[in-house]
Structure 1
Amino acid sequence: MDSKQPPPPPGYNQPPGYGQPSGYSQPPPPPGYPGSTVVVTQPVHMNPYMFREFGVQMQCPQCQATITTSTRYEVGTLTWVACFVIAVVGCWLGCCLIPFCVDGCKDVIHSCPNCKQDVGRYNRM
């Protein structure tokens, strides 16, 4: 029998970097080389407060004072939904307006007692 070896597969006898994009054949920079700097920033979480029905102690973002928010009520989505549900049920002779008189159906607006700016809102729906 003849001990003939098969030829090597193509590509093994090619010079280094042959057939690769031009940026891949360069050696890596030595350790300690002043290269590019990567800056990572964290997202800013603006409102960590849970606004509910009562005032919240916080620092006002506008006037920077430490405050307990004052609250007021405004008509919101839940108020209108309750009005329409009451009207559909059959209480349309003025009874459907009751949600507009009940603070428990309205949204709560939190404001700074110093600068009077709105700082938060509690939407019931």
Structure 2
Amino acid sequence: MDFRVGMDSRQQAGPPVPPQVAYQQPTAPRLEPPPAYAEYPPNPDPKAVYPNLPPLPNAVPHPHPVQQQPMPHLQGVRPTTVYVGSVAFSSHGQPLHCTTCQQEIMTRVAPKPGLLTYLLCGGLAFFGCWICCCIPFCVEGAQDIEHFCPKCNRFLGTYKRI
């Protein structure tokens, strides 16, 4: 039995189905290569484009060179010597020139826990040797060595085991 007595044929058919269209991949617009460098116009004079542009430092020598005045000699003032480079420190004291007190010295060494000390402690603790894990902090051979000047106590550098 059909219960759709009062409906016309359009309502019975349902919504219209759009026609099936095959998918086409979009194509990018074709780009041409940029022009060669010779085709670009030459750069304009910056002063013509920017008339209030300040001159660049050291770009063009000044027509009236500035004469430098000699430095006055100051009595009692010593020039500071700056040493550039590095010193390879060892695990023992070594002869060195202290740049602070200007003396030839034998460095004073002091052990300090470093990366090797903490790695050994962590390794001993990891393998269950909890009682022995503090031993690397007592062994100078497992610690970094700091070098100091014995006269002015200035820190000079560190010898790192790792």
Decide: shared fold, TM above 0.5.
Answer: yes
Q: CA deviation at 1:95?
A: 0.8
Deviations 1:13-44 (A, max 9, x none): xxxxx843216xxxxxxxxxx938xxxxxxx7
2:43 corresponds in structure 1 to 20
So what's the TM-score if we normalise by structure 2? 0.49
Is there any run of 5+ residues in structure 2 with no aligned partner, and where?
Answer: 1-40, 47-59, 63-81
CA distance in 2, matches of 1:19, 1:110: 62
1:112 aligns with 2:149: yes
Q: Whose RCO is larger (CA < 8 A, sep 6+)? A: 1
Larger Rg: 2
For the 8 Å contact 1:61–1:119, the answer to whether it is kept is no
Question: Which 4+ residue blocks in structure 1 deviate beyond 3 angstroms?
Answer: 44-47
SS class of match (1:79)? helix
1:53 aligns with 2:91: yes
Q: CA deviation at 1:110?
A: 0.3
So what's the TM-score if we normalise by structure 1? 0.63
Deviations 1:28-66 (A, max 9, x none): xxxxxx938xxxxxxx76342101101222211211111
SS class of match (1:78)? helix
Q: What RMSD, in angstroms, separates the aligned Cα atoms of the two structures?
A: 2.3
CA distance in 2, matches of 1:22, 1:58: 59
> How many pairs does the alignment contain?
90
Percent identity reads: 37
